[in-house]
C-alpha cells in the first residue's frame, strides 16, 4: 500500500465516523415523548394533515419523497432506480396504485398482489418499500406518532372521544378516523381513570426488526399454519394472572397484522394461505378492522402487499383487480 492510499483510507474512515455521528445525533434529536395534551398543543398544530395520514397516504408520501426530477422534466421513482431495471412499467403501476389509494379511491380497499416468475424482482420491490418506510420515518416530513405502550402503535388521535371529533375537525381542519384499541381502552380506564389527556404519546419509527409498522407473514406447512402468527392468541401465562381470556392484557399481540399497523403487511405466497385467513385479511383491507375471539372489532390501518409465484413468464405484474390497472 502506498502512503497516498493510506492517507485516503484514513480520511474515508473519518468521513464515515462523521456520518455515523451525524446519524446518531439526528436519530436522538428526533425522539419525542409527552402526554396527549402536550401533543395536541405542541405537535399537532405544526402539521395536522401529516399526522392524520392513512397508511396508504404515508406510503405514497414516502414514494414521492424519494422521487426526483430527471433532466427531461420527468419524475423518476428514486426508490427503485438503483436496484430494479427494465421494470419501469410494472413499477409505474405500483406507484399508480399508491397514488390512487392515497387520494381515497376504492383501490385502497384492495390488497396489492405482485405476480410474476421466480427472480422477477417481487421480493426486491417489497424490500425497497420497507427500507424506504424505515428511512422516511426518521425524517421530519415522515414523523409518525403513536400511543406509547400500545400494541398496535395507534394514532394518539384515537383517544379523542367521538362526541368531540366534530369540534376537533373545526379547530384543526382535519378528520379523525379510527377507534381506540381494547388494550389502550382498558389502560385508559384502569391507569388513567378515563383522563385521556394524560395518556403518553411518543414519536414512533418504522422498523421491521422492531416489529413496528412492518409485519411479514409467510405460510409454512399448511397443516400447522397458525392463526396466531397473523392475529395473535391468548397468552396462557397471563390468562392466569388476569383471570380472563378476554382481557386485552392477556392477549399476545405478536401477530403480523399488529406489527404492521400504521405501515405495511407483507404477505408472502398469499395463495397458499388458508381460506379462513383470507376472509380476515379481506375484512382488514375493506373495513380496516379485525375480529379476534373475545374482543370487539380492532381498528387497524395498514397496507397489505402480497407476492406470489406466477405460472407464466414475463415480468412482475401488480394486480389489484382495480380499474386503474387496466389501460
Verify binding: residue 313, ligand ATP, rule CB under 6 A.
no
Under the binding rule (CB under 6 A), the answer on residue 318 touching ligand ATP is no
Cβ–Cβ < 8 Å for 188, 229: no
Site for Zn ion in 3-62 (CB under 5 A): none
Secondary structure of residue 33 in the 3-state scheme: strand
Residues between 158 and 217 that touch Zn ion (CB under 5 A): 181, 184
CB of 125 to Mg ion, least distance (A): 9
Q: Does 216 bind ligand ATP (CB under 6 A)?
A: no
| Cβ neighbours around 254 below 10 Å, total | 16
Q: Select the residue interacting with Mg ion from 123, 207, 254, 283 (CB under 5 A).
A: 123
Query: Is the Cβ–Cβ distance between 152 and 181 less than 8 Å?
Result: yes
Select from 61-69, 119-127, 195-203, 291-299 the region that touches Mg ion (CB under 5 A).
Answer: 119-127
Judged by CB under 6 A, does residue 215 bind ligand ATP?
no
What SS3 state is found at 204?
strand
- 53 binding partner (options Zn ion, ligand ATP, Mg ion, none; Cβ < 5 to 8 Å by kind): none
Phi, psi of 212 (to 5 degrees): -125, 105
Nearest approach in angstroms of CB 277 to ligand ATP is 20
Q: 118 Cβ partners below 8 Å, 6+ apart? A: 309
Residue 125 burial by CB count (10 A; 0-12/13-18/19+): exposed, middle or buried?
buried
Catalogue the long-range contacts made by 197-200 (C-beta closer than 8 Å, 24 or more residues apart).
197/35, 197/36, 197/37, 197/40, 198/35, 198/36, 198/37, 199/35, 199/36, 199/147, 199/156, 199/159, 200/33, 200/34, 200/35, 200/147, 200/148, 200/149
Binding mask 261-300 for ligand ATP (x = CB under 6 A): ----------------------------------------
Name which of 89 and 175 has its Cβ closer to ligand ATP: 89
Q: Does 154 bind Zn ion (CB under 5 A)?
A: yes
Site for Mg ion contains 124 (CB under 5 A): no
Query: Which part of the chain contacts Zn ion (CB under 5 A), choosing from 103-111, 153-161, 167-175, 262-270?
Result: 153-161
Query: Which residues are registered as beta bridge partners of 303?
Result: 264
| 254 lies in the binding site for ligand ATP (CB under 6 A) | no
Looking at beta carbons only, is 144 or 306 nearer to ligand ATP? 306
Smaller CB separation from ligand ATP, 121 or 156: 121
Enumerate residues 6+ apart whose C-beta is below 8 A from 93: 317, 318, 325
Number of residues that bind ligand ATP (CB under 6 A): 14
CA separation, residue 23 to residues 29, 204, 297 (Å): 10, 17, 40
Rounded least distance, CB 87 to Mg ion, Å: 14
Q: How far is the CB of 81 from ligand ATP (least distance, A)?
A: 11
**Cα end-to-end distance, the chain, whole Å:** 59
CB neighbours (10 Å) of residue 104? 11
124 binds ligand ATP (CB under 6 A): yes
Q: Which is nearer to Mg ion, 123 or 285 (CB)?
A: 123
Binders in 61-120 for ligand ATP, by CB under 6 A: 84-87, 116, 118-120
Which residues of the shown chain bind ligand ATP in the complex (CB under 6 A)? 84-87, 116, 118-124, 309, 316
The residues of the shown chain that bind Zn ion, judged by CB under 5 A, are 150, 154, 181, 184
Amino acid at each position: 500500500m502506498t502512503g497516498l492510499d493510506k492517507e485516503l483510507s484514513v480520511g474515508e474512515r473519518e468521513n464515515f465516523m462523521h456520518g455515523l455521528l451525524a446519524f446518531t445525533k439526528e436519530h436522538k434529536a428526533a425522539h419525542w415523548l409527552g402526554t396527549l395534551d402536550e401533543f395536541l398543543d405542541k405537535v399537532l398544530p405544526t402539521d395536522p394533515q401529516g399526522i392524520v395520514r392513512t397508511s396508504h397516504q404515508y406510503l405514497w408520501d414516502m414514494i414521492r419523497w424519494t422521487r426526483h426530477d430527471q433532466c427531461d422534466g420527468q419524475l423518476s421513482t428514486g426508490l427503485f432506480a438503483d436496484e430494479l431495471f427494465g421494470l419501469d412499467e410494472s413499477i409505474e403501476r405500483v406507484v399508480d396504485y399508491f397514488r390512487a389509494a392515497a387520494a381515497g379511491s376504492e383501490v385502497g380497499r384492495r390488497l396489492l398482489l405482485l405476480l410474476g416468475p421466480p427472480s422477477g424482482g417481487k421480493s426486491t420491490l417489497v424490500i425497497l418499500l420497507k427500507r424506504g418506510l424505515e428511512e422516511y420515518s426518521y425524517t421530519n416530513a415522515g414523523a409518525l406518532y403513536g400511543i406509547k405502550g400500545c400494541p398496535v402503535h395507534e394514532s394518539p388521535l384515537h383517544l379523542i372521544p367521538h362526541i368531540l371529533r366534530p369540534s376537533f375537525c373545526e379547530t384543526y381542519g382535519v378528520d379523525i378516523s379510527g377507534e381506540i384499541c381494547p388494550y389502550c381502552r382498558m389502560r385508559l380506564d384502569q391507569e388513567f381513570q378515563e383522563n385521556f389527556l394524560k395518556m403518553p404519546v411518543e414519536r414512533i419509527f418504522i422498523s421491521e426488526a422492531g416489529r413496528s409498522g412492518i409485519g411479514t407473514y409467510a405460510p409454512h406447512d399448511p397443516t400447522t399454519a397458525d392463526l396466531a402468527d397473523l392475529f395473535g392468541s391468548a397468552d396462557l401465562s397471563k390468562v392466569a394472572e388476569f383471570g380472563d381470556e378476554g382481557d386485552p392484557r392477556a392477549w399476545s399481540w405478536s401477530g403480523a397484522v399488529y406489527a404492521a399497523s400504521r405501515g405495511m403487511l407483507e404477505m408472502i405466497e398469499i395463495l397458499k394461505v388458508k381460506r379462513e385467513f383470507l376472509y380476515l385479511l379481506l375484512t382488514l383491507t375493506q373495513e380496516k378492522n379485525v375480529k379476534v375471539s373475545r374482543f370487539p372489532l380492532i381498528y387497524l390501518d395498514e397496507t397489505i402487499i402480497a407476492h406470489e409465484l406466477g405460472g407464466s413468464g414475463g415480468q412482475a405484474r401488480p394486480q389489484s383487480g382495480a380499474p386503474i390497472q387496466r389501460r
